[in-house]
Structure 1
């Protein structure tokens, strides 16, 4: 497949962009718009050639051509995410999903055709392609950047019957992603239908039961899934963090009008922090082992897979315990990398600003220790800190990502004031000014 001209040129363009990222050339800290240098011209030339070579495959529409189109589309998404061109990345992702929807085994479920269910097949290559799109789409959905709901259904799991044990981390992740997709859909339904969501209680119980079954299978598969390999152990821990995030979402979507609904899930938020500390220690150890070598300098800051950004960002936005949410933000800021459409820098800036908007001067009369060691798990005494009143909290946080690396981020926070929703719009000159501008 790599011999296909469209795929080959897309790989060359992405490899060139990775090389540029490693060298730090054209990073987001650059404050001046410059004429593309030879390196950038190389990337653009192969990018444009890949687009040109792709056109015949759209016309042919045979299975081989469709695979070329889908693989090239994935490479384009990664290329644009790496460069911070989020609008173009979302366009490529939507184009790839459109191809899948029109040409593969899929079905629309529930009312309003709001959930698209993409079913697995016996074709391993096809499954790898669909799984990649499902992960990229899940990243966009968790960031609030998706335009539709997508469920990737594990093979022979139409009723989503969770197995007693999982055969692989890949299978465990597929089932958890399916549950997350259902939670997203039900959350949207409840947000759109006002305060009376009691009719969705049976569906909530069903999701809760499936999550409990998933956790039992996950724990029963612990030894076989980790198999004493660092990479598998990290992936295993990440899945646990995503489970806690999914569990919080599943238990809170019936009452979208109350932000205090998250307060009873502090222990789950702490579990996300605890797992993230373990992951941070693994990364720290790996960095220490590589110190003095050229390996770290030869690695790009971009990965297409799902990592710890989403659960940490979710904790920073939805947990109103000052110590726990600040720990999530500090862990986020301890690294500088991208996971698909997610960027630790952007997520950190957004989370810090949301915390500032919400907390204001609420803790001014308290002695708050914010310089705690990152390795220190939040303790019982930290849980006694007063939580923010409902009136201080953002009912909704919406992020509009920039169209280009040096564009603006728009942050929209909606807060309740005297039974009405007041919208605060903050716009930030991305990286350049490091300030938020109130646009009210």
Structure 2
């Protein structure tokens, strides 16, 4: 599909570039900023615009091996353009490739990413490992060695993003989270004063900042989000403005939820919530209300540029605008519910939002109904993207909406609207985890993920003592043998439930991730049993996947 609209202008004023809107390039101040009452920060110097302020430590000596050349070519043509999903691929296709020409650490990282991405694209189910690819392992180690001698902090930030991508591709949660924290700490130290860091890296780390809250265990070492904050705009002039503000609000919401863990799940459940946390909750509520006002008045005058992903699925501009609106609306409502329930230990309190959950699902279904005929998943469709899509929001709905029909529809939509792997979010794992929660709470067995009949009337809302508070999964899948001698691929999963005494305990079992797979018991000599037995209390082990 031909690219719609004009080419993106990258020579405009700094204010318009950061807002990702077209600049009229008026001098000394652009008319667009003046008309909207914004301060025009002027124009970057040629050195800043060309990124030549970062001096290469050595010249690019050319491709050393055929395999390396092939990996770089694959990144240019396939991996780089598709990593960004439906968002602007400029970061991967232009910025990263530009630095790879003269910075060895960037170039080595690109080769590792390309190699691992190709493995995932060939077969997304088995988890890729560096140990299985000598080429990726060699170049990742080389990039790490280069980074140790690097004193240019903005460049370190760029390489940090590439390292995070490498760990995402391997499903290495802990390593990816540590890189996220490290990058945010560097940003906090140096500040976003370098123009290209402010324009390209700060938004990336703002989106990455949610992962320590989603998947991290150490609540005492969460990243400081101050370095990622930016003033709220007076209005939205593009979808990029709306996404940027929502990204920051989403991170703050997740931070609040994790800070509320002790009062929702832990030993402080019967204590008063500190005033400081209540104040944060009110701030987030105000931000969400402000965002909604700006979004309601937003008129889609700006063009949405086509990306390799939207072209692959033949998604026109009208559909992309609708998808952006639905995505942002669903994310906003999930944030609102999440923040309001941050300190609530009674899971039945979520029932007041059932109609809200139903409306969100209807919005998602409307996307499928209006999907262009050519938008079909094929063998060449991307299996992995660096960005986050619909998967975590649909998982939240499947977890917290106790209307059986609605939550089953949310599970079904994951495979339709989600990419098999969205960074650390894996659709097959989230579907299996959500399916098991439904079985536990409704006391049913789902041999087929989507029953042909409406079961909602036969299965009323589960009582509070049946409801799963939170979930936990191992980051890596493994193979276990059933009593029937079948080898199944899955992972250890944990479910936080309330005991009769009111305590929160963690129950674990080996979870089969095959869709619609029959339930089979694991052999006793395996370390985990499929039966639900209390292993430990929440206070002893915190959830690593927050819902």
Asked whether the equivalents of residues 139 and 306 of structure 1 are also in contact (C-alpha less than 8 Å), the reply is: no
Distance in structure 2 (CA, Å) of the matches to 1:225 and 1:138? 28
Kept in 1, the 8 Å contact 2:432–2:514? The answer is no
Question: Which residue does 1:243 correspond to in 2?
Answer: 332
Q: 1:156 to 1:14 in 2, by over 3 A?
A: closer
Instruction: Report the structure number with the largest CA radius of gyration.
Output: 2
Higher alpha-carbon deviation: 217-226 or 323-332: 217-226
CA distance in 2, matches of 1:221, 1:240: 13
Distance in 2 (CA, whole Å) between partners of 1:71 and 1:163 is: 26
Q: CA deviation at 1:214?
A: 0.8
Structure 2 unmatched runs, 5+: 1-98, 263-267, 305-316, 480-488, 521-528, 534-547
Question: Which stretch of the first structure deviates more once superposed, 181-190 or 399-408?
Answer: 399-408
For residue 229 of structure 1, report the CA deviation from its aligned partner: 5.1
Shift of 1:149: 4.5
Give the direction of change, closer, same or farther, for the CA distance of 1:232–1:68 in structure 2 (3 Å limit).
Answer: farther
Root-mean-square deviation (CA, aligned residues, Å) is: 3.7
1:13–1:422: structure 2 CA closer, same or farther, 3 Å change rule? closer
Contact map agreement 2:177 2:216 (CA 8 A) in 1:
no
Q: Distance in 2 between matches of 1:122 and 1:66?
A: 10
SS at structure 2 position matched to 1:388: coil
Higher normalized contact order (CA 8 Å, seq sep 6+, divided by chain length): 1
Cross-structure match for 1:223: 300
Residue in 2 that maps onto 1:177: 247
Of the three residues 262, 265, 288, the one matched with 1:211 is: 288
Deviation, 1:10, is 0.7
Does residue 263 in structure 1 map to residue 356 in structure 2? no
Query: Cα distance, 1:387 vs. partner?
Result: 1.1
User: C-alpha distance in 1, partners of 2:131/2:160?
Assistant: 27
* Residue 423 of structure 2, aligned match among 340, 343, 355: 340
Match among 42, 48, 70 for residue 141 of structure 2: 48
In the alignment, what sits opposite 1:83?
170
SS of 2:300's equivalent in the other structure is helix
Aligned mate of 2:125, from 19, 22, 28: 28
Contact 1:309 1:344 (8 Å CA) reproduced: yes
2:155 alignment partner in structure 1: 68
Give the corresponding residue for 1:355.
438
2:386 corresponds to which of 294, 298, 304: 304
Q: What is aligned with 2:100?
A: 2
CA deviation profile, 1:237-283 (whole Å, cap 9, x unmatched) = 2111110101111222242x100111101122123212322344466
Mean Cα deviation higher: 5-14 or 352-361: 352-361
Structure 1 segments unaligned to the other structure (5+ residues): 106-119, 291-295, 373-377
Q: TM-score, structure 1 length as denominator?
A: 0.76
Question: 2:248 and 2:470 mapped to 1: Cα distance?
Answer: 24
Structure 1 pair 361/43, CA: closer, same or farther in 2 (3 Å)?
closer
Offset from partner CA, 1:181-239 (integer Å, 9 cap, x none): 33334334444343333845565444323312211111211423676454454333211
- The answer (yes or no) to whether the contact 2:468–2:497 under 8 Å persists in 1 is yes
Equivalent-residue separation in structure 1 for 2:429 and 2:510 (angstroms):
13
Q: What TM-score comes out, normalization by structure 2 length?
A: 0.62
2-side partners of 1:421 and 1:266: how far apart? 24
SS at match of 2:225: strand
Contact 1:225 1:236 (8 Å CA) reproduced: no
Q: For 2:424 and 2:130, how far apart are their aligned partners in 1?
A: 24
CA distance, structure 1, for counterparts of residue 136 and residue 167 of structure 2: 11
Answer yes or no: is the 8 Å Cα contact 1:322–1:385 preserved in 2: yes
Task: Specify the alignment match of 2:36 in structure 1.
Answer: none
Q: Distance in 1 between matches of 2:407 and 2:360?
A: 11
Deviation at 1:315, TM superposition (A): 0.6
Greater CA drift, 89-98 or 307-316: 89-98
Is the contact made by 2:206 and 2:228 (CA closer than 8 Å) also made in structure 1? no
* CA distance in structure 2 between the aligned counterparts of 1:320 and 1:392, rounded to whole angstroms: 11
Q: After the TM superposition, which residues 126-165 of structure 1 pair with which residues of structure 2 at under 5 Å, given as runs?
A: 126-143=198-215, 148-151=222-225, 157=231, 162-165=232-235
Task: Tell me the residue number matched to 1:317.
Answer: 399
The corresponding residue for 1:104 is 190
The structure richer in helix per residue is 1
**3-state SS of 1:50 partner:** helix
Map of 1:370 onto structure 2:
451
Give the whole-Å Cα distance in 2 for the aligned partners of 1:409 and 1:279: 34
The alpha-carbon distance between structure 1 residues 48 and 286, as it changes in their structure 2 partners (threshold 3 A), is farther
What does the per-residue CA deviation read over 1:148-175, in whole Å, with 9 as the maximum and x for residues that have no partner?
A: 1543677762xxxx44521332322232
Tell me, in whole angstroms, the C-alpha distance in 2 between the residues paired with 1:142 and 1:218: 26
Q: In the aligned structure 1, how far is the partner of 2:216 from the partner of 2:372? A: 30
Kindly indicate whether the alpha-carbon contact (under 8 Å) linking 1:134 and 1:152 is maintained by their aligned counterparts in 2. Answer: no
Is the 2:411–2:435 Cα contact (8 Å) retained in structure 1? yes
Pair 1:278-2:366 in alignment: yes
The correspondence for 1:424, drawn from 501, 507, 517, is 507
Name the CA shift for 1:420/1:86 in 2 (closer, same or farther; >3 Å): closer
How many equivalent residue pairs?
A: 391
Shift of 1:330: 1.2
Q: Distance in 2 between matches of 1:15 and 1:142?
A: 26
- Mapped partners of 1:369, 1:427: distance in 2: 22
Deviation, structure 1 residue 397: 2.2
Residue 111 (structure 2) aligned to one of 2, 5, 12: 12
